Amino acid sequence: MSRALKVSVISPEATLFEGEAPSVIAPAFDGELGILPQHAPMVTTLGRGVLRVGEGTTRFQIEGGFLQVVDDVVRVVTEHAKKL
């Protein structure tokens, strides 16, 4: 059975993405971080770079913030984001 992540990408200006995706690749403060379904709960600080949601078709340039993973729910709260 294939599982999906529930993903939210939020900046101070707007909610930029809300939906399901098979994976998320995020620019953490110390390198890229990959998230797949059933990932352990975690919180990390984000750096500057490209956030990829799903198969890479949904991408955002982000700067700072944090990422939280709990029970296949990924929340990305960023200081600044622009859809690519």
pLDDT in tens, 15-58: 999 999 999 999 998 999 999 999 999 999 999 999 999 987 89
pLDDT (mean) for 62-84? 94
In this predicted structure, what is the pLDDT of residue 2?
A: 58
What's the structural domain count of the chain?
1
List own/partner pairs for 70-75 with CB under 8 A and 24 or more apart.
70/41, 71/41, 72/3, 72/4, 72/5, 72/6, 72/37, 72/38, 72/39, 73/5, 73/6, 73/7, 73/8, 74/5, 74/6, 74/7, 74/8, 74/24, 74/35, 75/8, 75/10
pLDDT at 1: 42
Query: What is the CATH classification number for the domain harbouring 25?
Result: 2.60.15.10
Global confidence as pTM: 0.89
pLDDT band at 66 (very low <50, low <70, confident <90, very high): very high
Range of 20's domain?
Answer: 5-83
